[in-house]
Amino acid sequence: MKGMEIALVAGLLLAYALVSGRVARSSVTPPMIFIAAGVLFGPQALGVLELGLDDSAVLLLAESTLAIVLFSDAARLDVRRLRHEVALPARLLGIGLPLTVGVQLAGVLLVLPDLSWQEAGLLAAILAPTDAALGQAVISDQRVPARIRQTLNVESGLNDGLAVPAVTIFLSLADPMGESRSGVEWFEFAARQIGYGALFGLGVGAAASFLLCRAKSAGWLEGIAAQLAGLATPAAAFALAVETDGNGFIAAFTAGLAFKAIGNQTAEHFTEYAEDTGQLFALVAFLVFGNVLVGPLLGELTFPIALCAIGALTVGRMVPVGLALLGSGLQRPTVLFMGWFGPRGLASILFALTVLEGSALAFADEVLAVVAWTVLMSVVAHGLTARWGAQKYADWYDALHVQAGNEEVGMAEEMPMTEHRPRGVRARR
């Protein structure tokens, strides 16, 4: 990026900060603003900001953002408390996530028959993670039952990390250079990617958290240095994993899990700067998304691509969620509500930018187009319906109590669940 381009990005961040309070009270979301800015200042409009997939700064931003966001999302969740309330998140992650990949894979093959099953699987895996930050009004509305809000929050916090192995494996299967690998070689590759990634992630995260907590107890820590150490942890885990042929994103995610598990509440202080940095990078990533992907594709929407995008946001999400929640005791409006609020956002953008940059896939452009339109439609549709949908669902939920004479209704939605902090919300000190 050139000096004027950096100045433009900095100016946009400053301008957003000046109106951020008003934006937070409206149906307009930060991703909408920064995607629109990316398009407006891009080569298809004003031509002030011209980036490309082959720009090294774009790839560095994507990799850094994804590593930090994966680490921060994992570090926000208290796994020790979550294991006592695991029923609904486990259904969505253990059943719903694989079903989402499978249903979307089948749908892509049906609509885009020119793609191989490996490329369809890669596209399905890229679009599998959800981003609750795009429907922040749902997670923050206290009238929505805590169990439902926190299940959606936990799902989005974990499914991007859990999708990394699927993205990695499908990318390797779709790689034209990988066709000559034997079954044993495929197994060894997957084992290295997942095994070394998890090994270095857990090791670095646990060691960093343990040492920081001990140093804090001994009074050796200085505030800003501790914050920088929290940012250095995912960077170290990522670099060590990549150096040993492991997956850096798996390493960053598992580092966050270990960091939180060892440090518990103390660890939250160490990750504040990493979270803030991730939020900053995320806004810039949406700007880059608008500039690099959305702008060039605005006039190239085809019926099959639109059908894939709409299908991923509806059938590809709602059917797996419905199947995963069978027997959970949740009522139909709740299942529909949870099925709709599965926005596709930051993780899908970053997966697409990192795994498809310079790719040799025959249909890489088509895959990118589907990802771009799916995320764009999701940013708009889920952003505009989040507040309205949360209010309608809360009204329905309150009406049940009124009909019951304000007595306990005894619904599965009412079971208590720990409030896990949403992305972008500062921890209470």
Q: Using one digit for the tens of pLDDT, what is the confidence trace for 312-369? A: 999 999 999 999 999 988 999 999 999 999 999 988 998 888 877 666 777 888 889 9
Which burial class, exposed, middle or buried, applies to 2 when counting CB atoms under 10 A from its CB (0-12, 13-18, 19+)?
exposed
- Cα gap 334→84, rounded to integer Å: 21
In this prediction the pTM is 0.86
Residue 130 has a pLDDT of 93
Q: Which residues contact 67 (CB under 8 A, 6 or more apart)?
A: 234, 235, 238, 248, 249, 252
CB 392 within 8 A of CB 310: no
- Cα gap 140→421, rounded to integer Å: 10
What is the pLDDT tens value at each position of the chain, 429 positions in all?
677 888 999 999 999 999 999 988 888 899 999 999 999 999 888 989 888 777 778 888 888 998 998 898 888 877 666 666 788 999 999 999 999 999 999 999 999 999 999 999 999 999 999 988 787 788 888 889 888 988 888 888 888 888 988 998 888 888 765 555 666 777 787 788 889 999 999 999 999 999 998 998 888 888 788 888 889 999 999 999 999 888 899 999 999 999 998 987 777 778 888 888 989 999 999 999 999 999 988 888 899 999 999 999 999 999 999 999 999 889 999 999 999 999 999 889 988 888 776 667 778 888 899 999 999 999 999 999 999 999 999 999 888 777 665 555 556 777 666 665 665 555 544
Domain ranges of the chain: 3-414
Token look-up 């960093």 returns 208
CB 163 within 8 A of CB 128: yes
Report domain 3-414's class.
Answer: mainly alpha
Q: Which residues contact 136 (CB under 8 A, 6 or more apart)?
A: 29, 386, 422, 424
Residue 392 has a pLDDT of 93
- Cα gap 112→151, rounded to integer Å: 33
Q: Which residues contact 281 (CB under 8 A, 6 or more apart)?
A: 61, 64, 65, 68, 69
The CA–CA distances, whole Å, from 394 to 132, 271, 386, 418 equal: 18, 33, 12, 19
Token look-up 């997942």 returns 194
Which burial class, exposed, middle or buried, applies to 184 when counting CB atoms under 10 A from its CB (0-12, 13-18, 19+)?
exposed
Alpha helix locations (H) across 360-420? 364-403
Please report how many Cα atoms fall inside a 13 Å half-sphere around the Cα of residue 75, on the Cβ side: 38
CB 249 within 8 A of CB 66: yes
Six-digit token string for 173: 């299967």
**Closest by Cα among 373, 346, 369, 375 to 356:** 369
Residue 359 has a pLDDT of 67
- Cα gap 61→67, rounded to integer Å: 10
**Closest by Cα among 149, 55, 62 to 349:** 62
